[in-house]
């Protein structure tokens, strides 16, 4: 290994999979822990209530969300695909946004999520998510993408949203890609075979 090389970084072309936060009580524990930090609470809340990638969350400007009510939508140009997407925000998102905007002055062109040295970055969001999960003793591999995966997991498991609709929401080209993305567990496949007719 050369000096300054990060041995934790995956080899070029390989990926490390992160997991969704599966238990609602773990989500509630993180929300409670972040209650006194409006920025982190809003980042977590919007992240698990939309299917936005971290890079797209970080592109949100204060003026885009300042006057939103539950059920209102914002348009975002995806950094990864370059496509425009319309995302509807629920009550949890709009409340977290209002709390954040009330916590310090924001101009309309200011990024919603800033740190001490300027706008947050995807690596900083990754570290934050890891630290939140570690703080509640959550076992597994978590990172910035866990927020988006948590949304998908709970849409499927908690709310019963079907795979074809989730495939469209995630902009995946195949259902297989969506199934892999949503971390379908081997025991779920096994359960299917236990159904009797």
| Residue 109, pLDDT score | 96
Q: Which CATH class is domain 24-193?
A: mainly alpha
Give the list of residues 6+ apart from residue 39 with CB closer than 8 angstroms, or none: 100, 103, 113, 114
> What is the tens place of the pLDDT at every residue in 128-164?
999 999 999 999 999 999 999 999 999 998 999 998 8
* Tens digits of pLDDT across the chain (197 residues): 455 444 445 555 545 689 999 999 999 999 999 999 999 999 999 999 999 999 999 999 999 999 999 999 999 998 988 888 899 999 999 999 999 999 999 999 999 999 888 899 999 999 999 999 999 999 999 999 999 999 999 999 899 999 889 988 888 888 888 888 776 665 666 666 766 77
From first CA to last CA, the distance across the chain in angstroms is: 58
Residue 73: which residues within 8 A CB-CB, separation 6 or more? 86, 87, 88, 89
Give the per-residue pLDDT at 15: 57
Domain map (residue ranges) of the chain: 24-193
Angle between helix axes 24-33 and 38-49 (nearest 10 degrees) is: 160
Token pair of 6, please?
């990060």
Give the whole-angstrom CA distance, residue 47 versus residue 188. 26
> Do 38 and 99 meet the contact criterion of CB atoms below 8 Å apart?
yes
- Per-residue pLDDT at 81: 84
CA distance 78 to 71: 21
pTM reported for the whole predicted model: 0.85
- Show the CA angle centred on residue 135, arms to residues 11 and 144, nearest 5°: 40
């Amino acid at each position: 290994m050369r000096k300054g090389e990060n041995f934790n970084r995956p080899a070029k072309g390989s990926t490390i999979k992160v997991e969704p936060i599966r238990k609602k009580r773990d989500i509630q524990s993180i929300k409670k822990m972040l209650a006194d930090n409006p920025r982190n609470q809003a980042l977590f809340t919007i992240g698990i209530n939309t299917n936005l990638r971290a890079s797209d969350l970080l592109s949100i400007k204060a003026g885009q969300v300042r006057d939103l009510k539950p059920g209102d939508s914002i348009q975002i140009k995806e950094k990864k695909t370059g496509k425009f997407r319309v995302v509807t925000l629920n009550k949890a998102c709009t409340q977290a946004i209002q709390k954040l905007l009330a916590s310090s002055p924001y101009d309309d062109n200011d990024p919603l999520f800033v740190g001490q040295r300027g706008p947050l970055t995807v690596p900083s969001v990754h570290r934050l998510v890891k630290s939140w999960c570690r703080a509640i003793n959550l076992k597994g591999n978590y990172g910035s993408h866990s927020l988006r995966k948590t949304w998908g997991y709970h849409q499927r498991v908690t709310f019963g949203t079907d795979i074809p609709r989730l495939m469209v929401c995630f902009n995946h080209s195949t259902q297989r890609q969506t199934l892999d993305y949503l971390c379908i567990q081997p025991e779920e496949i096994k359960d299917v075979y236990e159904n009797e007719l």
